[in-house]
């Protein structure tokens, strides 16, 4: 019994380690996909089923992740697309019925900074849009979140210290009133 428990523990550690590769490791190993299965023993009966599957592009980025129910049916399917610079340009999540629960698209400027993030509902209707602006030096200056009709929901502004490190983030509500201020303090050697 003790040997079985030790063996099971080692197998579990191997499964956790195998699924924990980062993008560069997946690229170096030329991984195309990883499928995780579970084996459960209950009342003397052993049942094995597929739990999760991730697929990767040649750069090691996750392009799809599927979670399964014990009966083998798809619980959720998440997909992602990337541009030639490696920026995520679209992600979706679908339920078992195949309906899109949400879809997000992303746009970037010439420096590869994210400039627009748009979220759509299952009917393809825009429900949220976030626009990011940057200074000439590349620091994010603002983030404006609107609903599908263009009404401002929230605005964030950023300031930076003399070393170009984030100093403050001020969050304003739809009326322009300050809701929250975050401040960063740095310690140097």
- Which H or E element spans position 10? helix 2-18
Write the DSSP string, 72-86.
Answer: S-EEEEEEEEE-TTS
Sequence-ordered strand ranges (E) for 26-113: 33-42, 45-56, 62-68, 74-82, 88-95, 100-108
**Residue 141, Cα to own-chain centre: how many angstroms?**
23
DSSP reduced 3-state for 139: coil
Question: Does residue 6 or residue 118 have the better pLDDT?
Answer: 118
Per-residue pLDDT tens for 103-152?
999 999 999 999 999 999 988 899 999 999 999 989 999 999 999 999 99
**pLDDT at site 14:** 43
- Nearest residue to 134 via CA among 154, 152, 116, 153: 116
Residue 5 pLDDT level (bands cut at 50, 70, 90): very low
pLDDT exceeds 50 at position 11:
no
Six-digit token pair at 163?
A: 């070393």
If 0-12 CB within 10 Å is exposed, 13-18 middle and 19+ buried, where does residue 81 land? middle
pLDDT exceeds 90 at position 98:
no
> CA angle, 118 as apex, 142 and 20 as ends, to 5°?
95
Q: Residue 137 — φ and ψ, nearest 5°?
A: -80, -5
**pLDDT at site 15:** 42
pLDDT exceeds 70 at position 23:
yes
pLDDT exceeds 70 at position 31:
yes
DSSP reduced 3-state for 27: helix
CA dihedral (90, 151, 145, 165) positive or negative: positive
- Nearest residue to 105 via CA among 133, 78, 129: 129
Six-digit token pair at 135?
A: 């200074």
- 15 contact partners, CB below 8 Å, separation of at least 6: 36
Distance CA 138, CA 136 (A): 5
| pTM reported for the whole predicted model | 0.76
Residues 182 and 166 sit within 8 Å (Cβ to Cβ): no
């Amino acid at each position: 019994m003790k040997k079985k428990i030790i063996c099971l523990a080692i197998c579990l550690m191997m499964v956790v380690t195998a699924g924990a590769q980062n993008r560069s490791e997946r690229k170096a190993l030329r991984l195309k996909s990883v499928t995780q299965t579970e084996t459960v023993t209950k009342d003397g009966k052993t049942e094995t089923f597929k739990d999760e599957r991730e697929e990767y592009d040649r750069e090691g980025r996750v392009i799809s992740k599927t979670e399964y129910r014990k009966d083998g049916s798809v619980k959720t399917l998440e997909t992602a697309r990337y541009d030639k610079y490696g920026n995520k340009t679209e992600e979706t999540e679908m339920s078992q019925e195949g309906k899109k629960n949400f879809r997000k698209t992303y746009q970037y400027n010439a420096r590869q900074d994210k400039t627009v993030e748009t979220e759509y509902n299952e009917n393809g209707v825009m429900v949220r849009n976030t626009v990011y602006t940057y200074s000439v030096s590349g620091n994010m200056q603002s983030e404006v979140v609107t609903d599908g009709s263009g009404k401002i929901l929230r605005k964030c502004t950023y300031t930076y210290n003399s070393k170009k490190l984030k100093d403050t983030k001020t969050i304003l509500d739809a009326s322009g009133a300050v809701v929250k201020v975050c401040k960063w303090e740095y310690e140097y050697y």
